[in-house]
């Protein structure tokens, strides 16, 4: 309960830009986690289906498994052009959400820095207009750095999630390419 009281006290003493910055970063964090969890589950399921389909093709089946992306995409028309189209389509589908994760990873530190700069400017204004003590100034600057820390925190998760999902997408596309190569007899 004490941490909640500290948070309420911090927000009551913060300026509106710092609160807006923390609000945007909180929203980023929620969206980043939702995208990661949703896409991770989807990509894992698709990868499992494609691995199974690849196995059936390696065992002599002349068509991809029914639950395979390649089966839905090719629709019994196996040739180079439809294969390239399917690779393009699975690449687009598997990398959905990566753009937002990349944007969040690159912009969240700057958003946090904006909150810090505004808070420090406010602290300097207070210093110039009153006789503030070193203790109150250092406390204000310490509070201002919370926005930067929040931005870096969001960026770390965004970038990590981006790399994990990018790797999952690569593996999924590789399974589809291997199936296609076996079906076309390359």
Position 75 scores a pLDDT of: 78
Round the average pLDDT of the chain to a whole number and report it: 88
Predicted confidence at residue 141, as pLDDT, reads 78
Average pLDDT over residues 19-32: 93
Total residues belonging to the chain: 186
pLDDT of res. 184: 86
Confidence band, pLDDT 50/70/90 cuts, at residue 4: low
Model pTM?
Answer: 0.85
The pLDDT assigned to 96 comes to 94
Q: pLDDT tens, 75-103?
A: 777 888 888 999 999 999 999 999 999 99
| Long-range pairs, 24-28, Cβ under 8 A, ≥24 | 24/111, 25/108, 25/111, 25/112, 25/147, 25/150, 25/151, 25/153, 25/154, 28/104, 28/108, 28/111, 28/154, 28/158
Instruction: State how far the alpha carbon of 26 is from the alpha carbons of 12, 22, 46, 48, 147, in Å.
Output: 17, 6, 30, 33, 11
Best mean pLDDT range from 80-84, 93-97, 121-125, 132-136 = 93-97
What percent of the chain shows pLDDT beyond 70? 90
In this structure, are residues 155 and 172 in contact, taking their beta carbons and an 8 Å threshold? no
């Amino acid at each position: 309960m004490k941490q909640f009281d500290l948070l309420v006290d911090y927000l009551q003493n913060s300026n509106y830009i710092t609160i807006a910055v923390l609000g945007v970063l909180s929203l980023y964090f929620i969206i980043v986690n939702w995208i990661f969890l949703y896409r991770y589950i989807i990509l894992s399921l698709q990868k499992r289906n494609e691995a199974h389909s690849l196995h059936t093709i390696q065992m002599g089946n002349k068509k991809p498994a029914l639950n395979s992306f390649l089966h839905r995409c090719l629709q019994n028309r196996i040739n180079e052009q439809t294969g390239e189209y399917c690779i393009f389509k699975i690449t687009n589908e598997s990398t959905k959400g990566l753009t937002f994760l990349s944007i969040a990873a690159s912009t969240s530190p700057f958003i946090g820095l904006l909150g810090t700069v505004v808070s420090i400017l406010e602290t300097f204004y207070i210093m110039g207009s009153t006789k503030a003590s070193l203790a109150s100034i250092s406390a204000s600057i310490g509070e201002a750095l919370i926005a930067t820390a929040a931005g870096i925190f969001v960026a770390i998760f965004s970038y990590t999630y981006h790399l994990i999902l990018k790797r999952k997408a690569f593996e999924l596309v590789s399974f589809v390419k291997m199936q296609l190569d076996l079906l076309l007899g390359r």
